[in-house]
């Protein structure tokens, strides 16, 4: 299929993980790298929408304090993770360091950025504590981030 994630067998992945999902070379030669940042096990668990929404705001804002190469951080419709789009080529460790530094910021945040009617389309649909709990769980599993699929017996 044309969409990379539709070709991924979601039954075999082992969340949480971070994986390079796509790499595009644009006509002028610029490279975009898209990462699957999976918080919850597909078809088993998911993040509630206020958590997704708040993580989106927090990560989008705080990640740019660590890199000027962040293009976008978008939630997956299945509510199990996000797509992180970065400019250029990235080593796995560098991407993981960016994610970890950003999620550490999330755990220390005092508020969800732009969680209001002026700056957000659903300003009331946020939970700082929910986002922080999800960030802490993801950070606690950092040793597992490189393992995308379960071992088969």
* DSSP H or E segment with residue 35: strand 31-38
Section 44-53 average pLDDT: 98
Q: Quickly state the pLDDT bin for 4 (edges 50, 70, 90).
A: confident
Section 55-84 average pLDDT: 98
CA distance 68 to 152: 39
Q: List alpha helices for 64-152, DSSP H.
A: 92-108, 128-140
pLDDT of residue 67: 98
pLDDT of residue 136: 98
pLDDT of residue 18: 98
Task: State how far the alpha carbon of 78 is from the alpha carbons of 41, 63, 74, in Å.
Answer: 10, 23, 12
pLDDT of residue 153: 46
Question: pLDDT tens digits for 87-135?
Answer: 999 999 999 999 999 999 999 999 999 999 999 999 999 999 999 999 9
CATH class of 14-142: alpha beta
pLDDT of residue 139: 98
How large a percentage of the chain has pLDDT more than 70?
98
Q: Compute the C-alpha angle 38/41/45, nearest 5°.
A: 115
pLDDT of residue 152: 59
Q: How many CB atoms lie within 10 A of CB 126?
A: 24
- 32 - beta bridge partners? 24, 87
pLDDT of residue 150: 83
pLDDT of residue 5: 87
State yes or no: cis peptide before 34, omega within 30 of 0: no
Q: What is the mean pLDDT of the chain?
A: 96
How large a percentage of the chain has pLDDT more than 90?
92
- Residue 6 backbone phi and psi in degrees, to 5: -70, -15
């Amino acid at each position: 299929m044309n969409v990379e994630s539709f070709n991924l067998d979601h039954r075999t992945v082992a969340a949480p993980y971070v994986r390079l999902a796509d790499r595009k070379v644009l006509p002028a030669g610029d490279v975009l790298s898209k990462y699957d940042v999976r918080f919850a096990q597909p078809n088993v668990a998911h993040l509630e929408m206020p958590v997704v929404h708040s993580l989106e705001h927090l990560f989008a804002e705080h990640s740019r304090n660590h890199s000027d190469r962040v293009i976008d951080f978008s939630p997956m419709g299945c509510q199990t993770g996000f797509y992180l789009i970065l400019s250029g080529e990235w080593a796995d460790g560098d991407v993981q360091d960016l994610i970890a530094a950003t999620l550490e910021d999330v755990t220390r945040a005092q508020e969800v950025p732009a969680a209001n009617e002026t700056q957000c389309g659903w300003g009331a649909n946020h939970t700082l504590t929910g986002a922080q709990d999800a960030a802490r769980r993801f950070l606690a599993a950092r040793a597992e981030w490189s393992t995308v699929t379960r071992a088969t017996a």
